[in-house]
Amino acid sequence: VQLQASGGGLVQAGGSLRLSCAVTGGASSTNVMAWFRQAPGKEREFVAANRWSGGSARYGDSVKGRFTFSKENAKKTIFLQMDSLKPEDTAVYYCAATTRGLIVSSMGVADYYDYWGQGTQVTVSS
């Protein structure tokens, strides 16, 4: 399974960006997809996750109401729409996938995910 993230860049505070992550090479074996982020000197932080089969997406507390997780099952692609961006959103954003069975309580845990993309840099200027 390979994940390719794109869409990062530099944006002013209050602006928007949309990240994409395409899953290839065995995408049909993946169950849950997620976005995490990591700022310099900080631990990796959960951003959002959802199942390919649907249901409500889950969000980290710091992004609720501003970020939206979406997906195109036919293209095995997930998206992260980021609105009202803040300087503290600056980080490398990673997409992740797991082939494990659904464990809702683990969707926000990095160790739950088997595969990771290369990351895309998001920089929000004040």
Query: Could you report the per-residue pLDDT of 36-60, keeping only the tens digit for each?
Result: 999 999 999 999 999 999 889 999 9
CA 93-84-59 angle, 5° bins = 55
The SS3 of residue 43 is: coil
Given this model, what pLDDT does residue 119 score? 95
Local confidence band at 14 (pLDDT 50, 70, 90 cut-offs): very high
Residue type, 40: P
HSE-up of residue 85 (Cα within 13 Å, Cβ side):
22
